[in-house]
Amino acid sequence: MPVIRAILERFRSVVEGVQDLTLFTVETLRALFSRPFYLRETIHQLHFAAIGSLLIVLVSALVAGQALAIQLVRELANSGVKGQLGHFMVISVVRALGPVLVGMVVASRMSAGITAEIGAMRSSDQLDALVAFGTDPIRRLVVPRVIALVIALPALTILGDALAVIGGGWVGLQYHLPIESYYAGVFKFLTPKNLLVGMIKPFAFAVLIAIVACWKGFRSEGGAKGVGVSTTQSVVIASVGILVTDGICTRLIFRLLGW
Amino acid sequence: MIEFRHVDFSIDGNAILRDVSFSVARGRTTVILGPSGSGKSTILRLLLGLYHPDAGSIFVDGVDVTHINASRWREIRSRMGMVFQQGALFDSMTVGENVGYALLEANGDDEVEVAPAVRHYLELVGLDPYLIDRMPDQLSGGMQRRVAIARALAARDPMILLYDEPTTGLDPQSAERITDLIVQLRDQQGKTAIMVTHDIPDAFKVADAMTILEQGRVVFEGSPDALISVSTPFINQFLAPFRTAMGAASRRFEAATRRGAPPRTDPQRGGTP
Ligand SMILES: Nc1ncnc2c1ncn2[C@@H]1O[C@H](COP(=O)(O)OP(=O)(O)OP(=O)(O)O)[C@@H](O)[C@H]1O
Ligand SMILES: [Mg+2]
């Protein structure tokens, strides 16, 4: 019986969490479309999200692109269609791997950073101090972070996609695939539809990462230890959330496109 | 004017305040005393609308703030300046940006324009204006506390000031400067204030009225003079260290005077009492 009670208790807290997150999201959306707007904070956050994540995104995309290409090129060579590497790379990177990979890398960095920062502000009464000074903390802290990630993540995804594809071309070269035929395949299948499938997802991921991270920071309790717990939860929710969102987005988009 | 009427407040089912009533007259300073955990900071949070009472009413300048909307709250809060117990300085901003926070919010981040005001408030709390570009974590605890006081004063010139243990952790000179400042703000600018403190001498120095809490209940409300003559077990115990210290000091003084020596000898003028 205690087991069942514990499970019910856990279920209830998850439901309450979802409810609270929904309210937080609604509040954030409302704040997005009203003044004042904190431009300086937004630019600062954009710099932190975009420039700060650039190097790790580029490196991981290049390495992951190569790893994928090595797997593909062997199978393709066995079937005698090595020349299709560009085609396969662009489809798998732009439509599937790129957005998720870049989303995960950015999530691990930004979720932790945002939740820890806001959680520390919560535990040192800085959020209350903002309210006391007449500032809406959602407008001041959450909105700039959401906007920054909504701009940064798609941009980083484009760069990550490009680096992964370039990495694939390099692998092709090692397997004696001429660079021209690789890129011919790449550009032939870099169609608006394929781009659409890949580029809708980063917007959804960005909103997910930013809102969950801020929410966990706002709700963190119990000092430094509490901030640690919230930070962990924030990274986990964002990572799992990206995979789930990816699945849902892919199905939805495929249905919309009639594929 | 500030008034609490029969306020109950609990967090997660734990009663924090029970039937709390007291009032602060306009232009007066009330000191809230009480042991750790008795609910002093909670009272200030209720007053700022950071918490909402379960029962009872809170009045600020005659307005019942118990059921007002967010924009009314912003207006009420703009009349108050709060010094948080832990300082609560914005640690991503410089000292200058902290002290000028409300002014910068109002004028769209024009730091040059607010710099003179920021320097003025830093000097008022006894800090060197050159600290303006430091980050809060580069200051000592006592300096941070004073920056927090400067920030509260600089905010839109509030008529109500809430100080949560403003002198705790300060050296005696700085603490005296702060209590002098609190008295001066009342006498010269007519500010209404609530000061929470553990320091009984400080309390007697600034208080027009005193409210004492014990486990979320008001056990005394009245003038400092009235407090001296109250004798309940809790208040006796609470004031005991202070009374002992006062007694010891006055006995030393008397003894010294009897021996014909002034309490503070001045070698230049010799020992005339
Ligand atoms: N977030 C919270 N959750 C649960 N209980 C809380 C919370 N905040 C405060 N309390 C409880 O409320 C009571 C009053 O707290 P409060 O901070 O008002 O005390 P205080 O009189 O200011 O004490 P101190 O002198 O130590 O600052 C304490 O018993 C504390 O345990
Ligand atoms: Mg307190």
Average pLDDT (B46-72) is 91
Mutate to test the interface with B, among A126, A130, A136 (most CBs of B within 10 A): A126
pLDDT band for position B248 (cuts 50, 70, 90): low
Substitution candidate for ligand 1 out of B10, B41, B50 with most atoms within 8 A of CB: B41
Q: What is the mean pLDDT of chain B?
A: 86
Task: Mark A214-242 as b/e (b = at least 16 C-beta within 10 Å).
Answer: bbbbbbbeeeeeebeebbebbbebbbebb
pTM, two decimal places: 0.88
pLDDT in tens, A144-200: 999 999 999 999 999 999 999 999 999 988 888 888 888 988 888 888 888 888 999
Q: What is the pLDDT of residue B266?
A: 45
Average pLDDT (B83-96) is 92
pLDDT band for position B273 (cuts 50, 70, 90): very low
pLDDT band for position B173 (cuts 50, 70, 90): confident
Which pair of tokens denotes residue B146? 């004073």
In percent, the amount of chain B with pLDDT more than 90 equals 47
DSSP line for chain B: -EEEEEEEEEETTEEEEEEEEEEE-TT-EEEEE--TTSSHHHHHHHHTTSS--SEEEEEETTEE-TT--HHHHHHHHTTEEEEBTTB---TTS-HHHHHTHHHHHHHTS-HHHHHHHHHHHHHHTT--GGGGGS-GGGS-HHHHHHHHHHHHHHSS--SEEEEESTTTT--HHHHHHHHHHHHHHHHHH--EEEEE-S-HHHHHHH-SEEEEEETTEEEEEE-HHHHHH---HHHHHHHHHHHHHHHHHHHHHHHHHHTT--SS--TTT-S--
Which pair of tokens denotes residue A199? 């580029």
* Ligand 1 pocket check for B40: Cβ under 6 Å: yes
List the one residue out of B153, B104, B103 whose CA is nearest residue B127: B153
Residues of A in contact with B160 (CB under 8 A): none
Do B90 and A126 make contact, defined as CB atoms within 8 angstroms? yes
Q: Is B89 on the interface with A (CB under 8 A)?
A: yes
- In chain B, the residue whose alpha carbon lies closest to the alpha carbon of A133 is B102
Task: Give B39 Cα–ligand 1 centroid separation in angstroms.
Answer: 6
pLDDT band for position B259 (cuts 50, 70, 90): low
pLDDT in tens, A66-93: 999 999 988 888 888 888 888 899 999 9
Identify which has the larger pLDDT, B121 or B142.
B121
pLDDT in tens, A8-28: 999 998 999 999 999 999 999
List the one residue out of A127, A137, A128 whose CA is nearest residue B44: A128
What are the residues whose beta carbons fall under 8 Å from the beta carbon of B228, sequence distance 6 or more?
Answer: none
pLDDT in tens, A185-224: 888 888 888 888 899 999 999 999 999 999 999 999 888 8
CA–CA min distance B213, chain A (Å): 23
pLDDT band for position B265 (cuts 50, 70, 90): very low
Substitution candidate for ligand 1 out of B38, B163, B199 with most atoms within 8 A of CB: B38
Q: Which of A120, A131, A135 sits opposite B50 (nearest CB)?
A: A131
Q: What is the pLDDT of residue B261?
A: 54
